Structure 1
């Protein structure tokens, strides 16, 4: 009796066994969208530029009794010559002078927008057959029948206790 039951269970397990794994083809479509926005702003910033003043020499001779030459960046010498003429020399000092200047400063801002769309398409070759559906449903039936057979003695003892 036990061997008959074991053979029946073995055949039932063979009929309801799992199938081989199937690899489904996966088709992936990917699309990128990149947009770059460039913004340019020009501001004027006050700054100081240094202007170099070149060294210069100037001379003047006149028959007047006095002469005066003066600048912010020069030296002046005047004298009366023995023949009665006036000698006057003017020498600029080599130096740099600060000059206020507005300097243009350009700022470039670049913003990159990236939009990514990924589409995954999984194609199933066909629906499950009736046999495959029956195998999937019968597993739970076979599991419950096997559990009831293995636990029949404790279940019967529990049922007798309440009857």
Structure 2
């Protein structure tokens, strides 16, 4: 009976003696960065501008019955004619077709923004780390099945002899 108890204790020790894996939580830190930068500059831009025609006056006195008067922007003709003893004045005024357009350089404030920001993120990931087996653990893994089979055969033989 003492041999049987010894045998069972040895069997239980062999069955429950094993190695386990170890769980480790791996910490992953990430850092993203970007910069906020404001660059201000003055840019000169060509802008087309229309100008108003300035007021001009001109006059002429002639002894003739016709008159021709011209400015930078208009032409005027006048003539005096007699019909049946009555004087008639004919006067025409024409503008010269033109536009005054000019490109003017205007300073414009130009603002350019650059951003820089740092973002920190921490994540935890479960990582399984396999330990390297010790010499004893390798021996248990290699020889334990044979020892258990041998002990079972030995137990059967002992039971048959008593039997």
TM-score (norm 1): 0.47
TM-score (norm 2): 0.47
Larger radius of gyration: 2
- Higher RCO (C-alpha under 8 Å, 6+ residues apart): 2
